[in-house]
Chains A and B, each alone.
Chain A
């Protein structure tokens, strides 16, 4: 066995706990998970059945953690995990899965298949079987601090523009404030107006906040590639700075996987609870709304629908907050079919959009979202994840559908009451 294959197998072993064992013990090969997964429904290829993607992890569980399996291994009867097999599975584990978790919601025996796939990635990555694009993004995250190579000077420049445009000062490295805002590289590069929207909302609400020049990146490539050590290091940078500045709450921006990484995985990755809270920008705005500190004056005139970013809604728990916020700025809102916790994934998260090899399938699976939109026929789509936004725009353009994508945060800011 090569050194990396051995590392891969050991990584898979470390991922197996009682929940994984219960899951594999219970799978009856019913196939319901396939019909919940847009990578199967839009391609019709049964190898993309979610539980099938976990096969590397299953083989290790069987042969290492079940009596029958261990006996079988001794007799040479078990299915092997070797480089060739893992290479074949790369496309299933990375290109054909966004960790959206719809499969986990429908499995009749209760398997959290998305979690199992996430765990499978740990073994794949350690065995050297992660896609090139993700490896690059992860390296840049570790060495530069951002998967897209965005340095502080770049953010500083964007902040300069935002200050110019809004007339507001963006606080940097301020101590003892209520909130520290993280940003994803996607927002910094493609949607810097998000920063302006937050600044306006916080200014009106009288919130004290800051951005840190040392740790501003929200995106966690370690989670997407499946290397917990790297994911932990990226989280630790944020923890160190948040502790240093003594902030009360760290805000995760409009990026789905960033929220999962810092809110739910974070403390478990670094091994201890945080000294601060973590909230999504949507939760923060909803809080302000409840306290009467967020007031809007105008409304959107177009018919709106909401795309639930999977890691924020179904996997993150922030489902009602965006709807209450949309209520403030819209009288013409319609839910997509399956809207809410069962909404369909956009198809680009979890590292899929960072992987050029997956471009074709990513555009193909967009057809699921297209079908939802064709039923609802909205004038515009509101969402809260910049990756969903870009990918949906791509898909809509490809299919000649003229439906603009709006950011919920930016929309709220646009309709703020003057006073």
Chain B
């Protein structure tokens, strides 16, 4: 297979397959959650479930002071990685162009130099989270194969994207193909792992807020 053929496959059938698996997987996982249902609360309410649930979906983003002091490395490295990854994924010109093809519209991008810098920040932050995961006593205890796998499939697209952009090591088409394939790998494995938290955390936070809010406690 020539490198052009590889790139065509990655951009074409490869992407289609990966997207279908991704979307189907995410939908099934979310359906699996909701189909279980939850019994209505028969106790006399002290506060509102819905508004407290909605609030917690947002407020849980901010840790309380004591938690922050005790887990600052985890929290800071986690936030830096998430935010810079978001910027690199959704505010870089080539990505926006690609998404415009898929969904029909785009949006303004950030200057290339900035995206480049954020890509480096993302890589460093991801490495930091890995080191944290392997050295922090609690995280080390909790960490399993899935944690390391998901780290890897998240790291790979960022690194291969950076390499592809800077044309390091191989020819442009191959590097791009590798980058796109790494994204497809991420998409395909995503629904079967904890990466689902990207969607389900909103559901979990809602439940948390609802349960607390029913009892009159802001969570």
Contact = CB atoms under 8 A, between A and B. Distances in A.
Interface of A: 16-23, 25-32, 34-36, 40-41, 44, 46-47, 49, 51-52, 65-68, 104-112, 115, 263-268, 271-274, 277-278, 314-317, 319, 337-338, 341-342
Contacts of B28: 67
Interface in B80-106: none
Scoring A18, A111, A277 by chain B CB atoms within 10 A of each residue's CB, the highest score goes to A18
A317 B216 contact: yes
Interface string B174-206: 000000000000000000101011001101111
Contacts of B173: none
B66 A26 contact: no
Given A17-B37, A18-B37, A25-B33, A46 B140 contact: yes
A319 B217 CA distance: 8
Interface of B: 28-29, 32-39, 41-44, 46-47, 56-57, 60-61, 63-64, 66-67, 70-71, 74-75, 78, 133, 136-144, 147, 192, 194, 196-197, 200-201, 203-209, 211-212, 214-219
Given A17-B36, A110-B60, A316 B196 contact: no
A52 B137 CA distance: 13
Contact of B63 (A19, A20, A32): A32
A29 B44 contact: no
A274 B44 contact: yes
A105 B217 CA distance: 10
Nearest to B139: A31
A267 B206 contact: no
A319 B201 CA distance: 27
A26 B208 CA distance: 12
A65 B34 CA distance: 11
16 contacts: A22-B33, A22-B204, A25-B204, A26-B203, A28-B194, A29-B139, A30-B139, A66-B32, A68-B192, A106-B63, A108-B61, A110-B60, A266-B43, A267-B42, A317-B216, A338-B66
| B interface SS class | helix
Given A108-B63, A110-B60, A112-B207, A32 B74 contact: yes
Contact of A105 (B39, B64, B144): B64
A342 B143 CA distance: 27
A110 B205 CA distance: 4
A37 B65 CA distance: 15
Contacts of B194: 25-29
A110 B204 contact: yes
A15 to B, nearest CB: 11
Contacts of B42: 267-268, 271-273
A44 B147 CA distance: 22
Contacts of B143: 29
A108 B64 contact: no
A44 B136 CA distance: 12
Nearest to A68: B192
Given A66-B32, A341-B218, A52 B142 contact: yes
A131 to B, nearest CB: 24
- 9 closest pairs, A vs B, by CB? A110-B205, A317-B216, A46-B141, A31-B138, A267-B42, A110-B204, A317-B215, A35-B70, A109-B201
B177 to A, nearest CB: 28
A36 B67 contact: yes
B196 A25 contact: yes
B197 A264 contact: no
B127 to A, nearest CB: 17
Given A25-B200, A268-B42, 16 more contacts: A22-B33, A25-B203, A26-B196, A26-B197, A26-B201, A26-B204, A32-B67, A36-B67, A52-B141, A104-B208, A108-B60, A112-B208, A264-B214, A267-B44, A268-B41, A314-B217
Contacts of A31: 71, 74, 136, 138-139, 142
B27 to A, nearest CB: 11
B217 A109 contact: no
Contacts of A36: 67
A29 B32 contact: no
B33 to A, nearest CB: 4
Given A31-B71, A31-B136, A67-B28, A47 B141 contact: yes
Contacts of A268: 39, 41-43
A307 B208 CA distance: 24
B217 A317 contact: yes
Contacts of A316: 215, 217
A32 B79 CA distance: 14
Nearest to B201: A109
B211 to A, nearest CB: 6
Given A34-B138, A49-B142, A65 B32 contact: yes
